[in-house]
Amino acid sequence: MTQPLQELLTVDQLAAWLQLPKATVYNYTYERKIPFLKIGPRLRFDRKQVEAWIHEREHSVAKR
């Protein structure tokens, strides 16, 4: 049984979704800070992996 295709985002789509400049997305991939894959010369981002990456970086706020 094959797995369904993941929702893959382009650099433009990811930048818009995260509200970041495209240059920041390229920098994160160059520095291997964000999960990505390459299909030929193209960068793609699995939405679920990026969501998990975001949640790993969440900071909880302590109540006073």
Kindly report the length of the chain.
64
pLDDT tens-digit series, residues 2-20: 555 679 999 999 999 999 9
pLDDT tens-digit series, residues 15-60: 999 999 999 999 999 999 999 999 999 999 999 999 999 999 887 6
Contact between 35 and 46 under an 8 Å Cβ cutoff? The reply is: yes
Measured CA angle at 54 (ends 33, 22), to 5 deg:
55
Residues of the domain holding 44 = 8-56
- Confirm whether 15 is domain-assigned: yes
- Residue in 19, 10, 20 with CA at minimum distance from that of residue 47: 10
- Confirm whether 43 is domain-assigned: yes
| Number of domains the chain is built from | 1
Contact between 27 and 18 under an 8 Å Cβ cutoff? The reply is: no
- Confirm whether 3 is domain-assigned: no
- Confirm whether 61 is domain-assigned: no
- Confirm whether 2 is domain-assigned: no
